[in-house]
């Protein structure tokens, strides 16, 4: 293929550009993102973490744009100035050192600005603004205009108070958006993972001028139903693998790098809430809770009747296997019912960081605290089955298995 043929092919096919010039393979969900942002002037891309969204949109895409239009002006925005500089410098160093790019497109490095916060490639147009600049969210930008603004993961867990959320949203709308030059090539791309029900991304979802593309990690399959898969443990009770019962029932966004087995192990590592947010783009809040806080408050009473006066007393266990102290909780709840149909919560035990053995002893300990317990209902997920079978075999506890679907 001649130089001219390569350039023409790279212009028409960004996957070829990434592969030949950058040595990178773009997968289907990457090209879907790129086609989407090319289609719209204002784009919101919500995608699971660890799926290459930053590499695709804050590295490959601006390099492709600069290679074919040296007069373009690009702004990199991230949650901190350090991360914004990291994205900018990755592009700068590639333009400076990539032999294939330089051979086919010519030298990019110029005698003008070539620093850590911005740089200017060799170009014909006379602009007061450099080719690329960067800024951390809520940072100061004065008098610049841009053809491409890439806002990459500007929301994180450190700016989720109501005041901080409002500050980021106001900065995005009142400071950042006006910097986009209104011309035929101008685009702004907001890419990230939602962190709260009222954060910037949720705000942009309701903005009619932004087109949204949302892609969670698990596209098909009920990962919340733990009877659909099974963890494999070694002799030290450490998860080493995961096996799904019906592989054809599952579909994931990036099969080549993030198969369902790997994602389910990640679920065990970080817990349900984090997996919901970081990988499935779902935010738990009061509006989506099955039990509303005000409902529970209405049921609060000052004094519980003696537990031995209850007609029935039972315990229920929701198992979670996580050695990490940041994952899901194992919960053991003790409930009593009187002859009038009233239910009372007498005790709630919750803890995380368990192994199967420590879970077994926790169940025994909680049962011995309340001598009136008639049944212990345990959820038959992977960890639940293991612990319950052990308890049935080794103890006389009144275990009853319960299948939650």
Question: What's residue 345's pLDDT?
Answer: 93
320 located within any domain: yes
Six-digit token string for 213: 């593309």
Q: What is the CATH number of the domain that holds 72?
A: 3.40.50.300
User: What is the count of structural domains for the chain?
Assistant: 3
Percent of the chain having pLDDT more than 90? 64
Both structure tokens of 218: 């698990």
Q: Which of 381, 402, 379, 380 is nearest to 226 (CA)?
A: 381
Does residue 44 lie in a domain region? yes
Q: How many CA atoms lie within 13 A of 346 on its CB side?
A: 25
Q: Summarize the confidence of residues 37-57 as an average pLDDT.
A: 96
Strands 132-136 and 74-78: parallel
132 and 150 fall within a common domain: yes
Q: What angle do CA 271, 220, 356 make, to 5 degrees?
A: 30
Dist. CA 310–CA 105, nearest whole Å: 82
**Token couple for 379:** 């959820």
Q: What distance in Å separates the CA atoms of residue 366 and residue 350, rounded to the nearest whole number? A: 11
List of residues 6+ apart from 22 with CB closer than 8 A: 60, 63, 94, 98
The candidate with the shortest Cα–Cα distance to 374, out of 390, 397, 393, 357, is: 397
38 with 172, same domain?
A: yes
Q: Three-state SS for 337?
A: strand
Q: Enter the pTM of the model.
A: 0.76
The reply to whether 180 and 49 lie within a common domain is: yes
In a domain, 297, yes or no: no
Q: How much is the pLDDT for 31?
A: 97
Cα–Cα–Cα angle for 173, 174, 178, rounded to 5 degrees: 90
Q: Are residues 71 and 203 in the same domain?
A: yes
Residues 6+ apart with CB under 8 A from 143: none
Q: What is the pLDDT of residue 326?
A: 56
Shared domain check, 325 and 362: yes
Mean pLDDT on 305-320:
90
* Contact assessment for residue 362 and residue 354, using Cβ atoms and an 8 Å cutoff: yes
**Same structural domain for residues 272 and 307?**
no
- Give 229-246 pLDDT, tens digit per residue: 999 988 888 899 999 999
Domain that holds residue 359: 302-402
What is the average per-residue pLDDT within 289-296? 72
């Amino acid at each position: 293929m001649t130089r001219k043929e390569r350039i023409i092919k790279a212009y028409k096919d960004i996957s070829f550009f990434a592969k030949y010039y950058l040595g990178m393979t773009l997968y289907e969900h990457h090209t879907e993102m790129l086609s989407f942002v090319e289609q719209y002037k204002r784009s919101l891309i919500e995608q699971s973490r660890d799926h290459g969204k930053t590499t695709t949109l804050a590295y490959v895409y601006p390099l492709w744009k600069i290679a074919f239009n040296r007069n373009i002006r690009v702004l990199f925005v991230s949650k901190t100035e350090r991360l914004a500089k990291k994205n900018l410098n990755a592009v700068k160093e590639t333009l400076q050192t990539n032999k294939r790019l330089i051979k086919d497109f010519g030298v990019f490095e110029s005698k003008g600005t070539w620093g850590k916060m911005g740089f200017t490639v060799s170009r014909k147009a006379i602009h007061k603004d450099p080719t690329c600049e960067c800024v951390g969210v809520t940072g100061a930008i004065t008098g610049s205009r841009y053809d491409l603004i890439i806002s990459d993961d500007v929301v994180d867990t450190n700016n989720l108070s109501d005041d901080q959320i409002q500050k980021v949203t106001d900065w995005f709308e009142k400071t950042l958006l006006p910097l986009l030059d209104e011309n035929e090539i101008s685009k702004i791309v907001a890419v990230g993972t939602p962190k709260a029900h009222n954060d910037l991304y949720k705000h942009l979802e309701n903005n009619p001028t932004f087109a949204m593309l949302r892609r969670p990690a698990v596209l098909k399959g009920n990962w919340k139903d733990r009877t659909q898969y099974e963890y494999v443990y070694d002799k030290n009770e450490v998860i080493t693998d995961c096996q799904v019962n019906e592989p054809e029932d599952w579909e994931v966004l990036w099969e080549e790098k993030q198969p369902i087995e790997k994602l389910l192990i990640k679920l065990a590592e970080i817990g349900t809430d984090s997996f919901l947010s970081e990988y499935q783009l779902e935010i738990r809040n009061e509006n989506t809770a099955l039990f509303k806080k005000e409902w529970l408050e209405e049921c609060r009473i000052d004094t519980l009747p003696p537990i031995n006066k209850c007609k029935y007393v039972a315990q229920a266990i929701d198992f979670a296997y996580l050695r990490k102290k940041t994952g899901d909780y194992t919960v053991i709840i003790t409930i009593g019912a009187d002859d009038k149909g009233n239910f009372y919560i007498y005790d709630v035990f919750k803890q995380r960081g368990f192994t199967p053995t420590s879970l077994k002893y926790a169940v025994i300990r909680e049962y011995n605290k309340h001598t009136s317990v008639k049944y212990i209902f345990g959820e038959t997920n992977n960890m639940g089955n293991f612990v319950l079978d052990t308890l049935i075999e080794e103890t006389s506890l009144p275990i009853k298995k319960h299948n939650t679907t």
